[in-house]
Structures are given as C-alpha cells and as structure tokens.
Amino acid sequence: MANINIDSRKDRTYDAIVIGSGISGGWSAKELAERGLKTLVLERGRDVQHVKDYPTTNLYPWEFEHRNEMPYKVREENPIVSRCYAFHEDAAHFFVKDKEHPYIQEKPFDWIRGYQVGGKSLLWARQTQRWSDFDFEGPLRDGFAVDWPIRYADLKPWYDYVERFAGISGDRDGLPELPDGEFLPAYPLNVVEKYFKQKVEAKYSSRKVIAARCAHISKPQPIHIQQGRTQCQNRTLCQRGCPFGGYFSSNASTLPWAAKTGNMTLRPDAVVHSILYDGDKGRAIGVKVIDRNTKEEIDFYAKLIFVNAAAINTNLILLNSRSDRFPNGLGNDSGTLGKYVAFHNYSARIYGEYEGLLDFKTVGRNPAGGGYIPRFRNLHRQETDFLRGYAAGFSAWRSSHADRSGFGDDLKNSLLNPQLGNWGVGSHMMGETIPKASNYVALDAQQKDDWGMPLLKVHIDYDDNDEKMKKDYLDTLEEMFQEAGFTNIRRDDRWQAPGLDIHEMGGVRMGNDPKTSMLNKWNQMHAVPNVFVTDGASMTSTSTQNPSLTYMAFSARSVDYAVKEMKKGNI
C-alpha cells in the first residue's frame, strides 16, 4: 500500500503548476513548457478547444432562437452578467452565471467571469497599450500606493517579445506616454475620426487622437502561421471564439503552443482550493484541488507555482491558503493581501453628431473600434484637483434610417433601402482609480460555495477623486466636440458599479518593501520565493491603459527569471 501511495504522489508531481488558463496563465504555461518544465495547468472550468468548441462562431443572425437577444427570464436570473456588453446568445456560454457562483457585495460590484479553458481571453475587448514610466513612476511621484519596483525599461524587451508572438496592430505614434511597440499595420481611422484628430491636435498641442492598438492580426507573420493562425477577417464576432485565430486568445495561441512541446498537462474542471505550504521547507509544495464534478479533493505537487487565476480569484485562493506560518493567507506578512484593489472608471460617455463629410460612409468593420485618446491630464505636472488622469476611446459611424410608416411593398422597400443620415460620434472614458486599503476583498467566515470554498466579500467603491475626474472628462470632451463642430452633444453621466470595466487589479501588489507589499520586482512572493503572481492581482496601480498586454509581459518575464533561479538552486 505504501508503494501505491508513493506512485500516486509521483504521478501528481510536476516541475511547475500554473493556476488558471486565461491570458496570463496561457503565457506562463507556454514559457514554462518551452523551457522544458513538466507543467500542470489547472482550470476550474470546462475544456474549450480552439475552433471545435466555438458552437456559434459561424451562425447567421436568424439561426439564433432569439436573434441573439437574451430572453427576459435569463436576464432576470442574471442581473450582474447581463450588464456586460457581450452577454448575448452568441457568447452566453462563455460567461459565469450569477446563481452558479455567488459572492457577497458589501458595496455594489459587478464581477464578470469566464470559467473555462482560455478564461476571459475568449471575451476580452482586445485593446492593447503599453504602460510607460508615467504609469510606473506615478505612485512615487503622486504619493499614493507604494512605489513600483520596476520601470518601463525593465518591461520593454518583454513587451517586444509578447507583441511579436501575439500579433498587435497599431501605428508608431512617437508618444512617451504611450510607448510604441512591435506592431503589425494599424486599422486606420475613418474619415470623421481623422477629421476629429486634425481638429484636436491643431487646437491642443498636448492631446492626440491615434488609431486604437489591438490584438488582431492585420498582416500575418511567420510566427502566426506557425501557430495555425491567420489574418483577422474583420467579422467583429470575436466573443464567439475566432476560428481563424485572428485575435489573440489562450485557446488559439499560447495553450496549443505549450501543448505541442509535450510538456504541458491541462486539467480542466479543477477548482483550486488552496496552495499547500511546508513550514519546514519555507516553500509552497503544491496545490489542493476540488474536482468540479465529483467534489473529490486532490493534491498536486511542484517546485514552482504560478498563480494566474485572474485578479479577484487569485486573491481568494491566496486568502484561503492558510497555515500555521500564514494564518491570514499565503505570504501575507505585510497584511496587504486582498487590499488596495483598484479598477478602471468607465462611468461616463459622450455622444454627438457631425453634419459634414456626408459624401462619405464606412464600408466593412474595424476590429480595433476606431480611435484612442491617450492620457493627457497631469502628465508633466499636477494641473487638476484630482490625481492621475484618464484615456478615452473615440469612434465615428454613419447613421441611417428608414421610413417605417408604410406597409406592404412600400415598407419592405423602405427597410431594405435605408437613407443615410448624419455621422454619429462617441467617446468613453477610462479613468485611473487610486488603490486604497478601504477597497478590499475578504473571505466570509460562514458562507461557502458548492465546492467548500468561502464566499468572497467585495468592498470596492468610487471616491471623490473619481467623481472629479469624471466631471473633467465630460467637460473636456464636450469642449473638444464643440471645437470640432459636432452638434446635438449628449453627456452620459451613467452610474455603473465597479467591476463592469472588467479591469480589476491589485490585492497582491508588487513593491520594494516586504512590509508594504506581497511581491518583488519579479512578481515573486517576498515570503514564499517559489510562488509567482503575474495576473492583475499583482498590479500596484492601474494606469489608464488596458492591462492585459502588461500581464502577458509580466508572465513571460517572470518565467524567464524563475527558471534561471531554479537552475541556480535558489528555488
């Protein structure tokens, strides 16, 4: 019997374990497997294989029972996820349903999740911008949070590395606040977006309107062909899963790449309960898993553990990883675990019309979505009564309308031949929020989910800084719209709960001082050196840029460091 137990443990022992298979987990798996480490990837959701498990990807609108609209009953049963822009018939199967995975909202928080192989990499909006030293130096300069332990120069070669593999389209704009990258050709602005760019840049020397940068293959390179991916077809049906691999996802790119090394074992339906810690060794030794279907407990073992469960779930797992050495969560000597969670403020939009350039219209679809206005507030000096700033999207489209007053052939002909109207224009803000100890997640002491995990309590909210920033965005964009001659300008000061931005970050932040942070400059736990966190939980602050590209770069960089340290015998 002893030999059987020994053999059983041996069968469950790997060189490395990656928790999570989304954007950062896929990169961690690829890098570890490529370097020869036998790597176990744990995913709490079901398996989703590229192309094979995209059931709606080629359906026509009339092939959906409800024409891609969600029935009222489904929306009523899922009030949180129903607020997400992509929750429709064509992609609902990739979203977590509210009742299946409850959590406790001490403050309103819309937690949008995708529990399957690939995670939310099947659902993300694919916007990709590098961070700059304006972002990495922000906390030190502006006096909030703690100083980032890295600067842009530390991450630049890894941005280069992941961009070439993933396929990022964009222009080289020469902006220090938004560094250029290893780009495929950009998706160009349309005629009204270019007009707005000219007007804005002529009036305001510090403000730019550029083509949005996105994770779409506009011109395939050999590395993309080797992955089995090809050119984006501009279908803009990305949330269904792309059979062409035209946009970057773990399913189309990093996970298959890791699999073909022969070094990756993928285990779906594995709900991670906690990370196992050996006090005598001063190291994590493995991961406890609950089988999603059978509820069986299984322990897996490894010398190296990468936690990529997505920011909030990474916090949950670490908080639940308790031992005599770490009674308040793994590595939590600083007491900061679960605290200083931040997000992006998307709670304002502005719309208008343009009555010019009516001899033009758009043809086809732009998967990048149009234009992007990089942050310009408080870059070189503090010029407002709020800290940090915001970026903004901008897009223009030609409106159309049809006369619906007739009937019979007249009505049919009118509907089939709509008349073009004015151009519509719109913008949304993406504001940086300030990490605070009062924005936290914690475990509930009594309530548990179906797998015996404590329910997560979420206590995250806006503050006065966010409100001042939102007003500035609306005032400033309205002024810019007026300068461009736009009419019928409408401000949308909407209220949406944090979380709906799907850019939650922090709780396991990086920093120089183990007394005030969880991770060092390599995303390595100060107190548990064989555990690395490279997803959104590791972020010290949020910047105004979309964060996923930075998670990718962190993952590749940290694996490179970890493997070298293993070879030296330090891990």
Measure the CA–CA gap between 201 and 191, rounded to whole angstroms. Answer: 15
- Span 197-243, pLDDT tens digits: 999 999 999 999 999 999 999 999 999 999 999 999 999 999 999 99
Provide the CB-side half-sphere exposure for 568 (13 A, CA).
8
The neighbour count for residue 419, using CB atoms within 10 Å, is 10
- Span 397-439, pLDDT tens digits: 998 888 888 888 888 888 888 889 999 999 999 999 999 999 9
**Global pTM value:** 0.96
- Span 162-188, pLDDT tens digits: 999 999 999 999 999 999 999 999 999
What is the average pLDDT across 53-74?
96
pLDDT of residue 3: 46
Q: Does some domain include residue 203?
A: yes
Q: Is residue 6's pLDDT more than 70?
A: no
pLDDT of residue 150: 98
Q: Does some domain include residue 472?
A: yes
Q: Which domain holds residue 425?
A: 174-212+344-432+462-497
Q: Does some domain include residue 468?
A: yes
Contacts by residues 51-58 (CB-CB < 8 Å, ≥ 24 positions apart): 51/241, 51/243, 53/241, 54/240, 54/241, 54/242, 54/243, 55/93, 56/89, 56/90, 56/91, 56/93, 56/240, 57/237, 57/240, 57/241, 57/242, 57/243, 58/243
Measure the CA–CA gap between 284 and 281, rounded to whole angstroms. Answer: 8
Q: Does some domain include residue 254?
A: no
- The one-letter amino acid code at 519 reads L
The two beta strands, 210-211 and 264-267, are: unpaired
pLDDT of residue 454: 98
Percentage of the chain lying above the pLDDT 70 cut: 99
- Span 522-558, pLDDT tens digits: 999 999 999 999 999 999 999 999 999 999 999 999 9
Q: Does some domain include residue 333?
A: no
What is the average pLDDT across 85-110?
97
Q: Supply 44's token pair.
A: 């709490």
Q: Does some domain include residue 408?
A: yes
Q: In the chain, how many domains are there?
A: 1
Average pLDDT, the chain: 96
Cβ neighbours of residue 415 under 8 Å, at least 6 residues apart? 402, 404
Phi, psi of 95 (to 5 degrees): -110, 145
For residue 180, which of 196, 197, 156 has the smallest C-alpha distance?
Answer: 156
Q: DSSP class of residue 53?
A: T
Q: DSSP class of residue 183?
A: P
Length of the chain: 571
pLDDT of residue 5: 60
Q: Where do runs of H (alpha helix) occur along 380-463?
A: 408-416
- Reading phi first (left if > 0) and then psi (alpha if -120 to 50, else beta), residue 174 is in left
The neighbour count for residue 226, using CB atoms within 10 Å, is 11
Which residue has tokens 């049919």?
412
Q: Does some domain include residue 394?
A: yes
Percentage of the chain lying above the pLDDT 90 cut: 94
Q: Supply 292's token pair.
A: 């999603």
pLDDT of residue 2: 43
Q: Does some domain include residue 360?
A: yes
